[in-house]
Amino acid sequence: MTDDVKVRRTTRKTSVSDSVTSPAVKPRTRTVKATTAQMTFDLFADIAADLTCGVDEVGRGPLAGPVVTAAVILDPSRPIKGLADSKKLTALRREALYEEIVERSLAFCIAEASVAEIDSLNILHATMLAMQRAVNGLSRVPALALIDGNRCPVLPMRAEAVIKGDDKVPAISAASILAKVTRDRQLAALHEEFPQYGFDEHVGYGTPRHLEALRTHGPSPHHRQSFAPVREAFEIFGALTVSRVVRTS
């Protein structure tokens, strides 16, 4: 894996009648008095006539690896059962849902910000950058972007932050699953190159085993130098102790 930005996107083939949208149409707004569950359902149903994407990220807290984001436009005519916050699903269930989302969504895009970008910009701004890449990489332009959390990146369309959106909005749940599965796969691949850190176990988070490995082996090229435990390891070892592996294929 390199520090180059990786973006994956797709769209499902549709007929002319269901692929034409009007960018000039102003998104509808209304006041809803209902329970949280009802509000979530009504919000999703109300905007289904327009193109709406859900956006989420995975990997803000780890000490290593990129931050990965995804944007998803679900197809109301092809519902996906079992969508939920990716952290509440088993790895096996996430993998199964990943395939369904890829197959059934109208469009999706997976993007990231590299370790170098995280160290240069800080993790918040790198996350916003990765979200911008995911939304802008969609093959269909949404009228509204629903962002998990309490902050929105600068986007060319209307954006709304939804706290705990990965539990409330199906499109955000789908985005969280794509991002989680993608990043977990990346860290599993890193484990093959750097087994001494245990990336397959903690996917980069600062567990006791990971911190001990940093103290023993020093940082790898995939560790975030701007994060305190990694910075401390750099101060002890003075430089990278493991060379980057350059892939030729």
- What are the binding residues for a divalent metal cation? 56-57, 148
Which residue is associated with the tokens 């986007």?
155
Q: Are the C-beta atoms of residues 69 and 57 closer than 8 Å to each other?
A: yes
The candidate with the shortest Cα–Cα distance to 196, out of 211, 217, 219, is 217
Three-state secondary-structure class, residue 167: helix
Q: Are the C-beta atoms of residues 87 and 180 closer than 8 Å to each other?
A: yes
- Residues of the binding site: 56-57, 148
CA distances 182 to 155, 175, 187, Å, are 23, 11, 9
Backbone dihedral angles phi then psi of residue 71, each to the nearest 5 degrees:
-125, 135
User: CA 113 to CA 237: how far, in whole Å?
Assistant: 26
Residue 202 burial by CB count (10 A; 0-12/13-18/19+): exposed, middle or buried? buried
